[in-house]
Structure 1
Amino acid sequence: MKEHIIEVLQQIEREYDVKVLYACESGSRAWGFSSMESDYDVRFLYVHTKEWYLSIDQGRDVLEVPSQDSLSIPVHPQLDMSGWELTKALRLFRKSNPPFFEWLHSDIVYYEKYSTLEKLLAIEPKVFSPVTCLYHYVSMAKRNFRSYLLEEEVHHKKYFTVLRPLLAGKWIILNHAFPPIEFEILVQELVSVGPVRQSIEELISRKRARLDQSSKLEPPIRVLNDYLQQEIEYMESMMKDMKASDKNTSTHLLNNIFRELLEQAWL
């Protein structure tokens, strides 16, 4: 599949007159509990020509293949690709956008040029905001917990939509750093051996074995529901005592990265 992904990226460059800088996996494959039927959720950064940036009108800053943007070559049905234009990505990076941080921390990198990843990770400490990322993950965990896991019967695969952001938030509280992407690392580091961890490991095994049919409803896993409720309440209380950092002063660094990558891409 990697060869096909690179082929599609190269075709995107040709048909949309852009240069791809970086592409990685995001989703269940990056999290470490995919099955054979899981989609490939590829996320990428790209830069337009210099002329595109000299227009008085701002152009579209997202490419989505094949859902919104077509190509003249066939795209594998399991392949979902979404790309952000570089200045859009850098503005979100400046705001400590967690999804973009996840792209940069993915263990599955399909493509990179011009040391893009190295440049961005070098200034990560300048833009990373524990408060911003924690708020994102706790809000996601709380919202998904209420939406999916409080009925008399639930889809057990939905536990991942609460556990993963919850453990990511817990990592931030303990380490004041962005969390690893792989779910099992978070479990091993943050969940003590016992009934809760056993239940999580059973869910992972079922997910990998494709035993978590999306249409099947089952009783909630009480030990997990109790754990999730307690952890969400704990993290909400911790957030009250955390203060946001001073105004971000990384704009000039991000401007330099943009200009450097633009020059390198279109030499």
Structure 2
Amino acid sequence: MNYDPRLQQHVDQHPYPLLFATISGAHLYGFPSPDSDFDLRGVHVLPLPEVVGLKTGRETVEKTGFYDGLELDLVTHDVKKFCGLMLKKNGYVLEQVLSPLVVLTSPEHARLRELAVDCVTKHHAHHYLGFATTQWKLFAKEEPPRVKPLLYVYRVLLTGIHLMRTGEVEANLVRLNETFRLPQLPELIERKLVGPEKGMLEAADVAFHHREYERLVAKLETAYAESKLPETATAADGLNELLIEVRTASK
């Protein structure tokens, strides 16, 4: 993709070597507005002395704020922590490693992408159900209600249903709706793309979206119950092998 070149500067300035850096958030989900910040996510490698010594390095590196006019939220995890998260029912990390919006990549990133397929389980449904509940509460308590948290609700539920049915991690709401064809989504996405001035909803619309929320939650629960995905991840040995290779090569 053609991303803002200032993102590359922040990747280059990272205090540790990176295996990958990808774009997440609204840009990945298919509905960035003009004022959307850039969510950069990735994996760094702590040098061996900062792993085995008494003084250990940072497992997580965060950088948030405005830099040269760019609003940035950068979060990276050390490779060991990230591999551990991949083995849990954590949809976030799978979306990050599989994001098609790549700022930096490596052969190790390619291997992580391959191993991510064997990390998908039916119990990732719990991640998406929990996140949808949180986002709906955020949407419902706001006055006036905003489009942004509502789109996050739809995105999370459709991603979860699609994952349970196909085993494919798809975070882009526009592409998801090519399958689900929810008629309300194109207008909501367009309003988010335009910016804050059209980012509010009428209170009368909330009842409709509440019914849709409950309907899609039920669909995700059914998709979970009927899913043929495995109960547990099978990528542990592969991730362990990769981690040892990466760590022993670091200095």
> CA separation of 1:240/1:58 partners in 2, compared to 1, >3 Å: closer, same or farther?
farther
Q: 1:99-134 deviations in whole A, cap 9, x for unaligned?
A: 100101212100113x12211122223322122x11
> CA separation of 1:12/1:211 partners in 2, compared to 1, >3 Å: closer, same or farther?
closer
Return the TM-score normalized by structure 2: 0.85
With 53-62 and 89-98 compared, the bigger mean Cα shift is at 53-62
> CA separation of 1:10/1:138 partners in 2, compared to 1, >3 Å: closer, same or farther?
same
CA distance in structure 1 between the partners assigned to 2:53 and 2:180 by the alignment:
49
- TM superposition shift of 1:229: 1.3
Match of 2:21, SS state, is strand
- TM superposition shift of 1:261: 2.4
The answer on 1:42 being equivalent to 2:55 is no
**Alignment-derived partner of residue 155 in structure 2:** 164
Match of 1:252 among 231, 237, 245: 237
Say whether the 8 Å CA contact 1:94–1:251 is kept in structure 2: yes
**Alignment-derived partner of residue 176 in structure 2:** 186
The answer on 1:219 being equivalent to 2:226 is no
Say whether the 8 Å CA contact 1:32–1:182 is kept in structure 2: yes
Return the TM-score normalized by structure 1: 0.81
Say whether the 8 Å CA contact 2:138–2:149 is kept in structure 1: no
> CA separation of 1:127/1:23 partners in 2, compared to 1, >3 Å: closer, same or farther?
same
Match of 1:185, SS state, is helix
Larger Rg: 1
- TM superposition shift of 1:264: 4.8
- TM superposition shift of 1:97: 1.8
- TM superposition shift of 1:245: 4.1
**Alignment-derived partner of residue 107 in structure 1:** 100
CA distance in structure 2 between the partners assigned to 1:53 and 1:124 by the alignment:
24
CA distance in structure 1 between the partners assigned to 2:105 and 2:85 by the alignment:
20
Match of 1:42, SS state, is strand
Percent identity of the aligned residues?
Answer: 21
CA distance in structure 2 between the partners assigned to 1:152 and 1:111 by the alignment:
40
> CA separation of 1:240/1:210 partners in 2, compared to 1, >3 Å: closer, same or farther?
same
- TM superposition shift of 1:146: 4.1
Q: 1:83-108 deviations in whole A, cap 9, x for unaligned?
A: 11110000101224211001012121
CA distance in structure 2 between the partners assigned to 1:49 and 1:211 by the alignment:
43
**Alignment-derived partner of residue 139 in structure 2:** 148
Match of 1:20 among 18, 21, 26: 18
With 33-42 and 48-57 compared, the bigger mean Cα shift is at 48-57
Q: Which runs of 5+ in 2 are unaligned?
A: none
Once the two structures are superposed, the pairs formed by residues 203-218 of structure 1 within 5 Å of their partners are 203-211=188-196, 216=200, 218=202
Q: Which runs of 5+ in 1 are unaligned?
A: 68-73, 192-196
CA distance in structure 2 between the partners assigned to 1:142 and 1:212 by the alignment:
26
The answer on 1:82 being equivalent to 2:75 is yes
Say whether the 8 Å CA contact 2:164–2:227 is kept in structure 1: no
> CA separation of 1:261/1:61 partners in 2, compared to 1, >3 Å: closer, same or farther?
same
- TM superposition shift of 1:251: 3.0
**Alignment-derived partner of residue 87 in structure 2:** 94
**Alignment-derived partner of residue 71 in structure 1:** none
Moved over 6 A (4+): none
CA distance in structure 2 between the partners assigned to 1:211 and 1:45 by the alignment:
32
Q: 1:23-81 deviations in whole A, cap 9, x for unaligned?
A: 010100111111221101111210011111212565431101146xxxxxx56441121
> CA separation of 1:11/1:156 partners in 2, compared to 1, >3 Å: closer, same or farther?
closer
Question: Could you tell me which amino acid in structure 2 is paired with residue 104 of structure 1?
Answer: V
- TM superposition shift of 1:171: 0.4
Superposition RMSD on alpha carbons, in Å?
Answer: 2.7
CA distance in structure 2 between the partners assigned to 1:187 and 1:244 by the alignment:
22
